[in-house]
Amino acid sequence: MKSICIKTNNQEMIEYLITTFEKLPVNFCISNYRFKIYDNIILHDVERNENEFYEIVAIVLKSAIERFYEKEMIRKCIKQNYFYLNEMEQKYVLKISNQIMNLPDNKIGYKNKLLKNLVKQYITDNKSIVMDGFVNFRTKSYKDLLDNIVEVSVVSFLELTSF
């Protein structure tokens, strides 16, 4: 039997993950318990091979990271690296960045594949994942890609405003 424990304190994310896993056409045993400081979603699977199980879980966790962390990561990058832009300019850069994020994967450095592979590698090697810790400390290459996207957005914004 393959199992993974997903730890978070974000109630909205817990609801999203449980709902998403329940909608999948797979037969996971899903439980949700609070231990110490985290709510834990525990997934068990006996039907699939190990690689397929981790692939499915990685895809769902990737989408949760995009949904609950990505915009804030971009916003922080803009505030830290482009602090000299005023608030309105930063909003335009954020808007351009979000538009770039909606481009096909091959146009922006295979962001989806990169993030999914980071998650899959981690959950393959570990029995549990603390979502905040993973995003903060295990996604450097993903953050670097987001930084590049923000940089392209800033350059695009500056080119647009230089007319």
User: Scanning the structure block, which residue is given the tokens 């505030």?
Assistant: 79
Q: Is the pLDDT of residue 147 over 70?
A: yes
pLDDT attached to residue 105: 78
In tens, the pLDDT along 58-92 reads 999 999 999 999 999 999 999 999 999 999 999 99
**Residue 26: pLDDT band with limits 50, 70, 90:** confident
Residue 53 in this model has a pLDDT that exceeds 90: yes
Domains of the chain by residue range: 2-161
The H or E element containing residue 129 is strand 128-130
- pTM for this model (two decimals): 0.92
Nearest to 65 by CA among 113, 105, 119, 108: 119
Q: What is the mean pLDDT of residues 126-153?
A: 96
Q: What angle do CA 62, 36, 27 make, to 5 degrees?
A: 45
